[in-house]
Structure 1
């Protein structure tokens, strides 16, 4: 095998890691807001991702049945709908369940785990117990070949662009908007935030809902690279927690760096060994690094 062929294979494998990075980052961003900023261990985060994925599937099915002429245009609207529905589900979950369990992390873990099992059963009962896939528009199919022997999938580039857009939006919202100011004030000193007139309960609910909405966008992105089943979201929840913990629980920059490192390590190692061994190697490296730096790559400086 020539050097150019090996380089092309390495680039394509690296881009496969970029696609995984995009999904992990979107999942991690939502979880970083919920877990890192609020301290809630949301074991149902993967199911909010599945809500987004199923929204795209149902949008595809309905468009194909009732308005086939719109098949080339439905996907961006389905992504927006995925965010809205996951946001609404997160708002409802926070109002009905999470708001009663703040400052009780183990209770939130058990409660959201029960919520995840309930949502999985709802998916099986009301949608399908089998894996499903939406019909993607033609402009998402195929690949771009910048040079001979190097094929980059278009859907991967689209997911990367979507991830960059969402990440930039979250960063701007957290550091430049009134909501972000309220979130940071609540995280830094909740009693003082209440004292200056910030409704911390409403801030908590909105923050939790936004984190779930971002997970819905992750599910919409996931439909471009894989099929969706009742347990698809739960397969990513451990990786999402690893991304947040490894990067630093309250650091969005750490979440980005962590998602990229984990995805690339796993993708490149899969080229040389089996998928399960690649995952073991990646997890082992993360554990070793966390043993030396338990606060994560980018520890947030929060005044106690």
Structure 2
């Protein structure tokens, strides 16, 4: 039983991290069609924001809770800066945004190496996250449960924002028909910028969870950016329910493959399986008649 439970639960934790990262991509990629390869570095920014918060607030019980909004703000502002200075000039040019954001990703990684060093820094878990619970022979750390709870809260918060708030209605109007939304007085440029801020900020929240599990290091984002894009595409562009299913499926499948293959080969196998799935169903798990978020 443990041989099944261990990859299932550890995979669910990985899936929760992918979900948080993919939620931001579902906004920026789904709404604006922007292929932002620097999104992984916003995860890294959230992780380092957590580390720096602990340097200022030494009580780990409090610092982790404060790190969540701090990481959201730091990553969100980085995303807003990227959108304003670079991406806003390249809408409707996906290949250009892909190449430019790859360059931005490398610059941010090098900046992290210069500032924090190449080895990375540990993040201390608070006392209330240092235990574990036994599930069918597997000692499941509280940190893993916290990560899943964080993913669920991020999902519910984003879904509520899109469905019930006036800004969410402006997002949906912009996605469905940008020209008509502008004639109704909606500033689509403002919507784009705030959307990019929120999407990037969600990645920062994911960075907090990652830092509790594996600490901080400059290339942290590389591990998650490709799987996160796979999750968005496999789930269906702009489809939150598809993103949830795809995130946990990819996370759990990766852990099972890791038990059967080496680490890098497991990722290759999962990538190949997702590609095969997209050949069979190129529209992803769920589709809509517009580019709207569901």
For residues 145-294 of structure 1, what are the structure 2 equivalents within 5 Å? 145=134, 149-294=137-282
Matching of residue 127 in structure 1 with residue 121 in structure 2: no
Q: SS of the residue aligned with 1:271?
A: helix
Deviation (angstroms), 1:117: 1.4
Q: 1:71 to 1:102 in 2, by over 3 A?
A: same
Whole-Å Cα distance in 1 between the matches of residues 37 and 188 of structure 2?
Answer: 23
Q: SS of the residue aligned with 1:152?
A: strand
Whole-Å Cα distance in 2 between the matches of residues 168 and 283 of structure 1?
Answer: 28
Deviation (angstroms), 1:235: 2.1
Pick aligned residue for 2:71 from 55, 64, 82: 82
Deviation (angstroms), 1:90: 1.3
Question: 1:103-127 CA deviation, whole Å, 9 max, x = no partner?
Answer: 1111111221121111112111122
Contact 2:237 2:291 in 1 (8 A): no
Question: 1:169-212 CA deviation, whole Å, 9 max, x = no partner?
Answer: 01111121111111111111111000000000000000011100
Please identify, of 257-266 and 105-114, the stretch whose mean Cα deviation from structure 2 is larger.
Answer: 105-114
For residues 109-120 of structure 1, what are the structure 2 equivalents within 5 Å? 109-120=98-109
Matching of residue 50 in structure 1 with residue 38 in structure 2: no
Deviation (angstroms), 1:152: 1.4
Deviation (angstroms), 1:8: 2.9
Contact 1:50 1:219 in 2 (8 A): yes
Deviation (angstroms), 1:21: 0.5
Contact 2:124 2:212 in 1 (8 A): no
For residues 22-41 of structure 1, what are the structure 2 equivalents within 5 Å? 22-41=16-35
Whole-Å Cα distance in 1 between the matches of residues 43 and 288 of structure 2?
Answer: 26
Pick aligned residue for 1:302 from 282, 290, 294: 290
Deviation (angstroms), 1:150: 3.4
CA RMSD in angstroms, aligned pairs only: 1.5
Aligned length: 292
For residues 57-68 of structure 1, what are the structure 2 equivalents within 5 Å? 57-64=51-58
- The equivalent of 1:4 in structure 2 is none
In the TM superposition, structure 1's runs of 4+ consecutive aligned residues that sit over 6 Å from their partners are none
Contact 2:30 2:291 in 1 (8 A): no
Contact 1:60 1:136 in 2 (8 A): no
Ranges in structure 1 where 5+ consecutive residues have no aligned partner: 1-6, 65-69
